[in-house]
Structure 1
Amino acid sequence: MKHLYMSAAIAPFLLITPAAAQTADAAKPAKGEAVFSTGVAKGRDRLDSATSTSALRDSEIEVLGARALGEVLRNIPGIRAEYAGGEGNANYSIRGLPLSGTGSKYVQLQEDGLPVLEFGDMQLAGSDTFMRADLNLAQIETIRGGSASTFASNSPGGVINLISKTGDTEGGAVQATYGLGYGEKRVEGDYGYKINDTLRMHIGGFYRQGEGPRDVGFTAYKGGQIKANITKQFENGYVRIHGKWLDDRTPSYQFVPIRVTGTNADPTFTGPTNFNLKTDSLLSPYNSNILTLDGDNNIVRDDVRGGQHSVVKSIGLDAQFDVGGWTITEKFRVADIGGSNMTVRPIAVAPAAALAFVYGGPGGTLSFATGPQAGQAIPSAAALNGNGLLTSSLFLYTKLNSLDNATNDIRASRVWKVGDGNLTTTVGYYKSSQDYGVDLSFLNVLTDVRGDGDSALVDIRTAAGVPVTQDGYLAYGIGGALYHRTYDMNYGVDAPYASINYHVGKIAVGGSLRYDFGKVNGTLYGGELGGGRVGVTTVDMNGDGRISLAETQVASLPLGQPGNVDYDYDYLSYSTGVNYRIAEQLAVFGRYSRGGRASADKILFTPAVNYSTGKLVDSKSAYDTVKQIELGLKYRISGVTFNVTAFSAKTGERNTQVNSNAAGDIQVENIVRGYKAKGVEVEAAVRHGPFSVTGGATYTDAKISKDAAHPEFIGNKPRHQADLIFSVTPQVELEYATLGANFIGTTSSYAQDTNQLKLPGYTLVNAFVQVRPTERVQLMVNVNNLFNKLALSDVEQAAIPASGVVAGRAYLGRTASATLRYTF
């Protein structure tokens, strides 16, 4: 199949004969113009385009001192990013579109104009897991709403595009970064070179290793990436070959116990005794041993310390030629993507004595199962670690066998002289194939709550001394055989699209269409499929020749009873807008768009599919739609940029949501909802001499508009949706130094859709200073969360439980790093 995609990509260029015409790399701007090319038909001055767009250059990104991509994207107006989990599997949305699930459902993350994954919210495999920002990065372009729905599939909310350097500028840099007060060392470099007048190349990458900014007790970060490209320039265009090799391991910081006092409307959150929310996690070398059954029901051992292991090997083609008045653009990439994702996640947090009673009955006793005190009794449950807490947790084991994809996007544009104006027409065809081959296991363990990377597993015995657990395992599964699954899926997407834009004088009017055809097929195995297929069995998991109680609760796959998936879908997306350039410095625009997002793995193992025939029970389950209205103003003069956009959006949503039940225990719920949102987005930049300030803010009024399962939620604010999010970066750039600060913040929001427990608003301050003692040397110090503020990303309980303990995630406390760079 991938060879067919390669042939389809190359074939158009075998027919092209270079002609005597001058073509830049990709619609190069005239001097002074701000040209934008992501999610639009043809790159043009942003003041002539009826879209809301932003761009962050590499020099603007480096001062942020960001470790995760989410930390960078949080500084772009309109983008909501929840990145407390580390480098990967963050949650992204744009404006008021919901974050009801995980990942980036309505926002597509791209590299060099093509999606990293076709769907950004696949289970424990978000697109950002397979992306890294390093010295290869030239800039990040984002388009919010607008034509994103018609110039990319599955992106009705917008597109975020990481654009690589291509060797336009000769030279490069090497740098080393050292964590000040935490364990991480990183080296990286890049180099661009013009081989001759028509041939240039660029190569770069990084490698890092260390424990990371949280105390986990082991080397949690290890790996890096290499990216390279070579460009051949012709008289009428160019051809570029590019490749990427990513092999990187990072930790997945999941939810931890948090004490809460006060009221739902005015809560106070603190860490348990001997557990620091800003520096600790439940990850530890003492609670890392995974025992489960694989996709063939064979015993497999693994280690939570493997964390998020991202492996990507990709190669692609990017080409553009002018032929007979047409500009033909071709983008192709094939990627071999795999790895794993392993972590610890609490599903219930309670006093240790209470859980000893729940699982061990009256007189149940506790002992350490792992760690330096393994085998020793815990004499006082109430005094355990000074906080007396115990968690019933999940080992999340996800083996990413194949997320391979092949993607091709070819388009042709031409500008026609019609009357006094220019008519731009574009036609294109997009085709992709996305695998989703995953083994998933949820395993139930007991763990104590202790910081500094010392958390351990705990055993329970009855009063008569009968073991309830085995080496800290309550069961080698959860709820019988829930979430013990194997997916072997493929998603095919074909999408022809076209656009037309007429620009005459100060007015530009345009519209675009896209028709997505999808083919979904594959096989599933899992106990949830019903029909008596509950896969609970007895296995001697530790091989000691004896069967414990936990070993009678082993989740297995019913390999003789597959679930079939085989359905097609199609939907239309469209967008139309008008732009009026009032003056050279000022423009206004209006736009209406309707875009679709195909359902991916989130509807599998739900009643949406008939697993005997493979067909959808209701064709509406195949995709969700987003309808948006935008009215905007753009102003630009020397030293000042000001953009403001009012927006209104309606969203249909089918998803799975992790929340809590009435008792405060974690559950996974299928949701079918409608949402409405309206608001205003502002972006501004001012530069005067050595001083500059950039910033953005988004005000959103959002609500749940439909919910058949929970009509009481109608009118409520969606969870995590703040009224206001903002970022501001003032800085002063002198001859030998640059210093400044980055402020990011949000007002309060609700933890869950019930609108009870509030998450407090916060403002985080990140400071930076760059010193350039000589022309080629730079020393940079970044301090993130300068004032060490406690800021919560999310909490899974809807209200304060009787125990006064919830499960949530906090952003990192104060961390500092130093970077020494040499430029050549």
Structure 2
Amino acid sequence: MLKTVLATGTMLFALSVASVAPAQAQTGNSETTAAQDPADGEANDIIVTGSTRAQRRFDASYAINTVSQEDFEKIAPVNFADLIGQLPGFQTEITGGEVQNIYRIRGLPNDGGFVSFQQDGLPLFHENDGVFFRGDAILKQDLMTERVEVVRGGPAPVYASYSGAIINAITVTGTDTPRGRAQVTLGDTGLYRLDAVQSGPLGGNTYYAVGGFLRYHDGYRDNGFPNDKGGQIRANIKHDLDNGSVKLNFNYVNDHNVFYLPIPTADPRDPNVSLDPYIDYFEGTMNSPAFRNVNLKYRDGAGVIQNRTSDLSDGRHMQMANVGIQYDADYDGWLVSAKAGYTQGKLDFTAFYSTTNPADATSFANGYLARANTAFGPVSRFGYVLAGTNTVYDPYAASGLVMQGQYRDIHSNFYSAQANLSVAKRFETGFGSHDLKLGLYGSLYGEDSRTTYQNYLIEVAGKPRTLDLLAYSATGSVLGRVTDNGVLNHAATLNQGDSDAKMIAVFANDTWEIVRGLRIDAGIRHERYDYQGWAALTTQANLGDATTLADDTTRAFTGTIVNAELSPNVTNWTVGANYDFSNQIGLYGRASHLETPPNVQTVMSINPTIITTVADQYEVGLKLASGRSYLYITGFYTNFDPLNASFLAFDPTTGRNDVNVPFIGEAQVKGVEFDGAWQVTPWFTLNGALTISDPKYRNFESATGADPEQAEGNQIVRQPKVYGNIRPSFDFNTGGTDVSIYSRYTYMGKRYVDLYNNTALPEYGTFGAGITLRRDGWQLQLVGDNLFNAHGLTEGNTRTDSLSGQGSAEAIYGRPIFGRNFRLVVGKSW
């Protein structure tokens, strides 16, 4: 039924363009100006991403979306991933919190490494994935964003590194007309947020813009401490020259964001029994005040036992500053663009990760009987107490289960200097015109990392307490402890390293317009990298505390450093053809080749998997537009070879993520995207996006005895075959007040947690709605998400279920979507 609803909406879009009316092309400044006349619609928005020069969206021979501030308001996303997930071809998971969510493009089997985040056409950090952060942690959406342009496939590999897609945030730039806006957002999840932006002239053809946000948020789940706290500020100064402009910009982020991980939702002893009474589906989390003062214990390279304190409430603490300069000029038809930026940042990240399923309390304890007998002498029985106390804890007074989780403490410093220089010129020839662009891009960047993982024993509950497992003699005396103040394994994982990189890329693109409407374009990008780094060797060690088993198998630094160098190079290309029958009907086809080298973290890792992945993408598109109605239909095929689907599984015996399960093969994805808007009347518009695909594994091999045949032809992990949304909106004026009423239905199809497709993540759909009132510059908005508290999981438990599932037909351990919540926004524009 859900598929029928989405398909019906798409048919309505097609009907809307049956009577095609003329549409006027727009011209204007490429950096900050969208379509000047709102009646012209999104098809005539001016876009700059992935093209030689500014052009109408309709004229582009690739799939691109523009998302304006008005779109931000009506979509009312809970985070940036939620916004991008409303676009066709993008399957996102939004349940990790505000940042570090999942971005997948057209079935490419990666959690975000193929999506380049840019600001005004330049990345803030060269690689798409840093040490436990990606673009949405350093580039956050606020009122300082004029619009976001999103390229799917197409020329992305030529205009950015590692990219099957580009997300480019175009910032507000000042003009002769001063303008500003401020708004306060209040949410029933304890959200308090202030956004503001101001721009205008400084005199002498010089303009400014400054904006940002401050935010405090208790969180969508109850951690027992604030979820998010911090903010961002961005500013720029632009000076117009006789033939162009120069712009200076500055970004600063100082923000804490707590990370949500999967929770158990059903009893593994009987998957029909819900654990909701103990850990609430919508509000429960294993994050807890019990982890506000964690002691990390390990042995350093000199043999000295170290103790460091860590606080879970710090979350993902990102501190980042960026300065940049941008120069654009027209020298008698020669378009020169020079952009450069430098980013310096620091990430301190703490999170509590899921590991194995909950276990029956008695069975779990008995699993340590042999080790306890050896260490402490004959053990008569085990018993649980609250960690660090003598208070008895009886699991059978609650769920009868206990569970373990992994506390992760990660610290990284990073830097990235990047520059892009390009020259473009249109040449008229005897056989059409050539619009040629030549460019040079380079980056110097690097990051270090210090990582400690430590495993804990906890109760099955929201905001769980940590537990100690004690071994008793026949007389009732305590012989010893399996745990140490709740710790099951001290320093189960311990890593440290540093890396530096330099890279240079040359690229070129030619758009050949043979006759009006018929264009062929081709581009190529060649990149050369040079990595240098080191990693600290570790070994298994016993820290020597005879009263506990928790320190028997820790990792310890040996004092030895391993140096590494790597010099990969890759070549990407794209070829496309476009024919527009008119300003309202067009066709295009394109082939792209994407190579992604190993990232810089490879040289600060011990025995890393070094592989250059290749994705060949093909797409054909139909473009239809009429006023504010449009329909883009894009068929696509992606072959990803080689696909490294290897993973490190959690070993409950050692407490480490050190069970390497290598799977090398291919991923093949065939599909079609629908992206449309149907303006039924001037006051009613229906927007929608739908993606139907068949993401499959092919030709797998494994060197460790795992059966690759069981993965052959299976659906790619966590990738649905159908996903999309429908967004109706009503816009009218009554009594001098502009009123917008809008809603959103988002559908996510069935997925699987494992390569063998044994355990499913069921389909789900959510409803949201909102209303906005505007009068005399004031704005009042009320919006609600997941109004009917639909249940849905976006992932399983990736530490243990990636190969063969969870032993159940449907996931009983996963990351649930957020429950019903509301936000009130009060704003003023001037």
Alignment of 1:633 onto 2:633 = no
1:48-447 paired onto structure 2 within 5 Å:
48-99=59-110, 103-155=111-163, 157-168=164-175, 170-180=178-188, 182-196=189-203, 198-259=205-266, 270-292=274-296, 293=298, 298-348=306-356, 349-359=358-368, 363-369=381-387, 374-378=389-393, 380-383=394-397, 386-400=398-412, 402-419=413-430, 421-447=432-458
CA drift of 1:210 comes to 3.2
Distance 2:299 2:773 in 1: 53
Distance 1:295 1:319 in 2: 49
Letter in 2 for 1:766: G
Q: Deviations over 1:278-311 (max 9, x none)?
A: 1111111113332224987743211111111111
Structure 1 partner of 2:518:
507
Runs of 5+ consecutive residues of structure 1 not aligned to the other structure: 1-21, 528-533, 541-545, 610-615
CA drift of 1:43 comes to 2.2
Asked if 1 retains the 8 angstrom alpha-carbon contact of 2:268 and 2:359, the reply is no
Runs of 5+ consecutive residues of structure 2 not aligned to the other structure: 1-26, 373-379
Structure 2 partner of 1:714:
712
Letter in 1 for 2:692: Y
- Against the structure 1 CA distance between its residues 45 and 419, is the aligned structure 2 distance closer, same or farther, given a 3 Å change threshold? farther
Asked if 1 retains the 8 angstrom alpha-carbon contact of 2:119 and 2:170, the reply is yes
Alignment of 1:684 onto 2:676 = yes
Structure 1 partner of 2:12:
none
Letter in 2 for 1:680: V
CA drift of 1:491 comes to 2.7
- What SS does structure 1 have at the residue aligned with 2:133? coil
Distance 2:212 2:125 in 1: 21
Q: Which residue, out of 691, 695, 712, partners 1:698?
A: 691
Asked if 1 retains the 8 angstrom alpha-carbon contact of 2:318 and 2:346, the reply is yes
Distance 1:665 1:153 in 2: 33
Distance 2:279 2:213 in 1: 33
Distance 2:237 2:712 in 1: 54
Structure 2 partner of 1:530:
none
- Against the structure 1 CA distance between its residues 97 and 268, is the aligned structure 2 distance closer, same or farther, given a 3 Å change threshold? farther
- Against the structure 1 CA distance between its residues 526 and 220, is the aligned structure 2 distance closer, same or farther, given a 3 Å change threshold? farther
CA drift of 1:217 comes to 1.0
Distance 1:776 1:49 in 2: 35
Give the percent of matched residue pairs that are identical in Structure 1 and Structure 2.
22
CA drift of 1:164 comes to 1.2
Q: Deviations over 1:393-422 (max 9, x none)?
A: 11011112x121111111100011112632
Structure 1 partner of 2:466:
457
Asked if 2 retains the 8 angstrom alpha-carbon contact of 1:346 and 1:391, the reply is no
Q: Which residue, out of 648, 651, 655, partners 2:640?
A: 651
Structure 2 partner of 1:766:
768
Distance 1:239 1:789 in 2: 50
Asked if 2 retains the 8 angstrom alpha-carbon contact of 1:368 and 1:457, the reply is yes
- What SS does structure 1 have at the residue aligned with 2:194? strand
Structure 2 partner of 1:12:
none
- Against the structure 1 CA distance between its residues 268 and 551, is the aligned structure 2 distance closer, same or farther, given a 3 Å change threshold? closer
- What SS does structure 2 have at the residue aligned with 1:354? helix
CA drift of 1:25 comes to 5.4
Letter in 1 for 2:698: S
Distance 1:145 1:410 in 2: 23
Asked if 2 retains the 8 angstrom alpha-carbon contact of 1:333 and 1:407, the reply is yes
TM-score normalised by length of structure 1: 0.87
Asked if 1 retains the 8 angstrom alpha-carbon contact of 2:411 and 2:450, the reply is yes
Distance 1:116 1:356 in 2: 49
1:659-678 paired onto structure 2 within 5 Å:
669-678=661-670
CA drift of 1:726 comes to 0.1
Distance 2:817 2:809 in 1: 24
Asked if 2 retains the 8 angstrom alpha-carbon contact of 1:68 and 1:87, the reply is yes
- Against the structure 1 CA distance between its residues 496 and 285, is the aligned structure 2 distance closer, same or farther, given a 3 Å change threshold? same
Asked if 2 retains the 8 angstrom alpha-carbon contact of 1:473 and 1:550, the reply is yes
- Against the structure 1 CA distance between its residues 315 and 449, is the aligned structure 2 distance closer, same or farther, given a 3 Å change threshold? same
- Larger mean CA deviation between 279-288 and 799-808 belongs to 799-808
- What SS does structure 2 have at the residue aligned with 1:98? coil
Asked if 1 retains the 8 angstrom alpha-carbon contact of 2:741 and 2:770, the reply is yes
CA drift of 1:59 comes to 1.1
Distance 2:648 2:86 in 1: 27
Structure 2 partner of 1:750:
752
- Against the structure 1 CA distance between its residues 268 and 770, is the aligned structure 2 distance closer, same or farther, given a 3 Å change threshold? farther
Letter in 1 for 2:621: G
Q: Which residue, out of 477, 487, 496, partners 2:497?
A: 487
- Against the structure 1 CA distance between its residues 35 and 190, is the aligned structure 2 distance closer, same or farther, given a 3 Å change threshold? same
Structure 1 partner of 2:16:
none
Alignment of 1:801 onto 2:807 = yes
Structure 2 partner of 1:18:
none
Q: Deviations over 1:550-589 (max 9, x none)?
A: 3444432222x21222011112111111100111211100
Structure 2 partner of 1:13:
none
CA drift of 1:524 comes to 0.8
Q: Deviations over 1:594-628 (max 9, x none)?
A: 0111212675687866xxxxxx9xxxx34211101
Structure 2 partner of 1:538:
543
Distance 1:294 1:225 in 2: 38
Structure 1 partner of 2:558:
558
- Against the structure 1 CA distance between its residues 58 and 40, is the aligned structure 2 distance closer, same or farther, given a 3 Å change threshold? same
Letter in 2 for 1:636: A
Asked if 2 retains the 8 angstrom alpha-carbon contact of 1:52 and 1:145, the reply is yes
